[in-house]
Amino acid sequence: MPFLVLKKRSLIAFFIIFMVIASASVWFYTQSDSLTVFNQADNETVREIHMVTGEFKSKLPDGKEIEAYRWDPGTIFLEKDEKVNLKILGVNGDEHPYIIEGTDLKGIVKKGEETVVPLQFDKEGVYRLICLTHPDKENSGPMIAYIVVD
Ligand SMILES: [Cu+2]
């Protein structure tokens, strides 16, 4: 009987040691993984920001329909000098020709397509992403998003 108890004990001891080693290696691997990811982000990886084109629609009491196209999200934030790929998916509206104020960036976001706009600003400020078809409320807008660089 005492022999059996001793055997059980050493089994338990082995199990505990095994668990400690196993969890230590799991911890080590997850740590080194996140370190690698962090280093990549620090050096070369270009951050992605996703945006879609959306539409608000409503009916007035007199039956008249009103609508507004929007960039969603309507405000994005970048660090100065940070490299970002702005990926805009066209959902509502067939085409949205856009400009970004204060830059020479322009293009067209089309329904069902993803437009990638590479961004990098060396000056702080608020830059407006403006749809030229829907720039104000008279033209089913304002379809304006704000790019905040600080
Ligand atoms: Cu538009």
Tell me how far apart the alpha carbons of residues 96 and 99 are, in angstroms, rounded to a whole number.
Answer: 10
Condensed to tens digits (0 to 9), the pLDDT of residues 86-140 reads: 999 999 999 999 999 999 999 999 999 999 999 999 999 999 999 999 999 999 9
**Distance from residue 8's CA to the centre of ligand 1 (Å):** 73
Tell me how far apart the alpha carbons of residues 62 and 46 are, in angstroms, rounded to a whole number.
Answer: 49
Residue ranges with CB less than 5 Å from ion ligand 1: 69, 96, 131, 133-134, 143
Taking alpha carbons only, the member of 140, 143, 7 closest to residue 67 is 140
**Distance from residue 143's CA to the centre of ligand 1 (Å):** 6
Please say whether the beta carbons of 50 and 120 come within 8 A.
no
Residues contacting 52, CB < 8 A, separation 6+: 71, 72, 88, 89, 90, 91
pTM (2 d.p.): 0.70
**Distance from residue 93's CA to the centre of ligand 1 (Å):** 7
**Distance from residue 134's CA to the centre of ligand 1 (Å):** 5
Condensed to tens digits (0 to 9), the pLDDT of residues 4-45 reads: 555 666 655 666 566 666 666 656 555 555 444 444 455 578
The confidence score (pLDDT) of residue 143 equals 98
Structure letter (DSSP) for residue 121: -
